[in-house]
Structure 1
Amino acid sequence: MRITSPRTLLVLLAIVLLAVAAWFVNERPRTARSSQPTAIPVSVIAVKREDVPRYLSAIGTVQSLHSVVIRPQVEGVLTRIAVQEGQTVREGDLLATLDDRAIRASLDQARAQLKQSQAQLQVAQVDLKRYRLLSEDNGISRQTLDQQQALVNQLDASILGNQASIAAAEVQLSYTRVLSPVSGRVGIRNVDEGNLVRSTDTQGLFSVTRMDPIAVEFSVPQQWLPTLQQLVASSEPAPIKAFLEGDGDSGGTLLGEGRLSLIDNQIAAGTGTLRAKATFSNADARLWPGQLVSLRVQTGVERDALVVPPGVVRQGVDQHFVYRINGDKAEAVTVKVLYQDSRLNVISGVDANDRLVADGQSRLKPGATVEVLDTAPPAQNVARSDASVQP
């Protein structure tokens, strides 16, 4: 066995030391680079100040202000229907006629009886005048004079009864011409000409419904009572917009614009809701009785409000917060949501022109390093209920 010389061992040791030194030189910068935090790409928006109308959203039912079921008031055969289904009529227009021959005969009979009573009264009054002259000379007894006076009074009463019978017959005759009690639209006909109709029939001939103006009734939680009271008492009625059901927050089909007219006189104890009614002009008949619509009631205007898109505000455990950019760091700031809808949030707790993270919050935590992208994301169209905002 050959023994290695000390010189050879020193050479080998030097080679090992050089290799270890070279490894440290290459590995330490790599470790340093891996320990540096990676910047998280985010998009930001600036907080704006603007006037924001505040709205209350609700679902309402369209109701006619005046709807009448047309029923006959006398029994008779329906001889004519003078209007068409869906026709617009005015108050007092002829709608239908009934067979009036029997009633006319009764009217003629009552008139004949009146003339008969008038003739009898005329004869009785002449006799009464003669009896009074004879009684002055005791030509007749006092009893005969009193009997004649009673006969005259009886005939006077008979004439009054005949006149009442004539008036009643004339009223019955007027019922054979069915006139519209309201201006509106004629509904679907339930009875055809030639049918015998009675006042006790459960189903009317048809209905006439007033279409313009028209009302919409809706219910809101009871905490909105003070707000609605202020709106009703205001000199300027609160504007209300009606949309197709479900389109109120998405800017869908507008059916009409109206005004808040009244609130109910009590709160429903079982549901804790308050009924209210709005009145709409409906000349084009876009609102239809019985239709469900989405309502947006303007309850006020938030002046110089701090406004951000809905996606900027995040929900924490028990409060809302936003991520604000401070240099290249993101910091969490607690905010209070004062009002929200599908387009924007009105908040407090930040200042105008503060840069807030609009996209990329899911990867952030307080103090994280961020890289701000040049293009902001499109506004999020997240549907939210206005009922979640306290009045």
Structure 2
Amino acid sequence: MTPIAFKPNAIVFAAALAIITCAGGLFATYSRAADEDKVAQPKAALTVTTVQPQQSPWTVQLSANGNVAAWQEASIGSEANGLRLLEVRANVGDVVRAGQVLATFAADSVQADVAQAKANLLEAEANALDAAGNASRARTLQTTGALSEQQINQYLTTEQVAKARVEAAKATLVVQQQRLKHTQVLAPDSGTISARSATVGAVLASGTELFRMVRQGRLEWRAEVTAAELERIKVGTQALVSTANGTPVKGKVRMVAPTVDPQTRMGLVYVDLQSNLLKPGMFAKGAFELGQSAALTVPQTAVVVRDAFSYVYRVGADKRVARVKVQTGRQIGDRLEITSGLDANALLVASGAGFLNDGDLVRVVETSKPNTAPAQAKPAQAASK
């Protein structure tokens, strides 16, 4: 019987086939295990940072709107009558001082009247001197009988009339000198020229307005406040008024109106402004500082507004978020006050909450430390809800 011969290539091939089969089985087993692990571990919806609410003292503010106006406005007119305006030395926007010459009138005719009044006074004084001499001599002859009683009384009366004419001439001279002074229009107080109607060459009647002036350059904010809130504001209360570009201007309450408009039920609060950034006639928003109160605050980015309601997302121990409805109040800088609906020890999503839904799984990478209280010197917005 002939023995069977085994070829070496067949043996090697069979061994390789067995190894490949085992490896495939192991790979399939590991793949299924990996897939099971992926199913068992759900993927996080978002990577977030967290923050805790912060308790800090905030200024209690009362918002209001109103107009900016001059503290007092002076009307500067002509006291000269029928004179021609010769020169105008002030224009709108000029800052003037008390007693400064703003305009001049032609003074030739008035100067002539002054000269005539002086001459009349000299004549009256000469006549009074002559009458006084005659009266003195008449008194010395009164006891001698050289002059009758009637003549003596006549000299004495002439003396009194001459004295009266001197006084009348002096008064006339004073009037003409005043007319001469009125040919120069002077600033009654220091301030800023806000309007000008003076025109060179015009012949004006007495009392015609030439300029308007903001006295001492002082402005005030006339804030409109409801009758219920008017009692909360006292004289001396600090206020912050915002300019058109948002720059805050400090002010102080000078007076609270004693009456309320019966149509609008609003009262006026007069606030002295300490800046020239505002102009008369401007509309301005502002707020009165009524003290301080404790506030629970969170970053503005942690609050999401949906369907006109405000929400925050609280992170649980299982890294899932829960949507919490809250009420917001004041805002200072980038922080919002939470008035209700939130625990002070809650851990919240600091930013990106708008991309989350209730129950989403998140991955927390960092916990933000509570921020320091914002500076009260910055402009604040009262957002009562």
TM over 0.5: yes
Question: SS of the counterpart of 1:270?
Answer: coil
- Aligned 1:350-361 pairs, distance under 5 A: 350-355=342-347, 359=353
CA positional deviation for 1:370:
5.0
In the alignment, the residues of structure 2 paired with residue 212 and residue 187 of structure 1 have an alpha-carbon distance, to the nearest angstrom, of 10
- Conserved 8 A contact 1:42-1:371: no
- Conserved 8 A contact 1:338-1:348: no
CA positional deviation for 1:316:
11
CA positional deviation for 1:307:
1.6
Match in the other structure for 1:301: 292
In the alignment, the residues of structure 1 paired with residue 151 and residue 311 of structure 2 have an alpha-carbon distance, to the nearest angstrom, of 110
Question: SS of the counterpart of 2:171?
Answer: helix
Amino acid at match of 2:278: L
Greater shift, 353-362 or 74-83, is seen at: 353-362
- Conserved 8 A contact 1:313-1:322: yes
CA positional deviation for 1:150:
2.2
- Conserved 8 A contact 2:88-2:198: no
Residues 305-363 of structure 1, C-alpha deviation per residue, up to 9 Å, x if partnerless?
2123567498999x999776665688898877664678412415644222357846996
- Conserved 8 A contact 1:240-1:278: no
Identify if the C-alpha distance between structure 1 residues 82 and 360 changes in structure 2 by more than 3 Å, giving closer, same or farther. closer
Of 178, 193, 199, the match for 1:186: 193
Identify if the C-alpha distance between structure 1 residues 313 and 149 changes in structure 2 by more than 3 Å, giving closer, same or farther. farther
CA positional deviation for 1:90:
1.6
Identify if the C-alpha distance between structure 1 residues 212 and 71 changes in structure 2 by more than 3 Å, giving closer, same or farther. closer
Identify if the C-alpha distance between structure 1 residues 260 and 152 changes in structure 2 by more than 3 Å, giving closer, same or farther. same
Match in the other structure for 1:386: 382
In the alignment, the residues of structure 1 paired with residue 65 and residue 110 of structure 2 have an alpha-carbon distance, to the nearest angstrom, of 51
Match in the other structure for 1:274: 267
Question: SS of the counterpart of 1:68?
Answer: strand
In the alignment, the residues of structure 1 paired with residue 228 and residue 365 of structure 2 have an alpha-carbon distance, to the nearest angstrom, of 42
- Conserved 8 A contact 2:193-2:212: yes
- Aligned 1:195-210 pairs, distance under 5 A: 195-201=202-208, 204-210=209-215
- Aligned 1:1-391 pairs, distance under 5 A: 45-74=51-80, 75-187=82-194, 189-201=196-208, 204-210=209-215, 212-229=217-234, 232=235, 237-244=237-244, 253-254=246-247, 256-282=249-275, 285-303=276-294, 305-308=295-298, 312=303, 339=330, 343-348=335-340, 350-355=342-347, 359=353, 369-372=359-362, 374=364, 386=382, 388=384
In the alignment, the residues of structure 1 paired with residue 355 and residue 287 of structure 2 have an alpha-carbon distance, to the nearest angstrom, of 32
In the alignment, the residues of structure 2 paired with residue 274 and residue 176 of structure 1 have an alpha-carbon distance, to the nearest angstrom, of 44
Unaligned stretches of 5+ residues in structure 1: 1-32, 34-38, 245-251, 377-383
In the alignment, the residues of structure 2 paired with residue 268 and residue 210 of structure 1 have an alpha-carbon distance, to the nearest angstrom, of 27
Aligned-pair identity in percent equals 24
Q: Say how many residue pairs are matched.
A: 324
In the alignment, the residues of structure 1 paired with residue 264 and residue 381 of structure 2 have an alpha-carbon distance, to the nearest angstrom, of 19
RMSD, aligned CA: 3.7
- Conserved 8 A contact 1:324-1:355: yes
CA positional deviation for 1:71:
2.1
- Conserved 8 A contact 2:125-2:166: yes
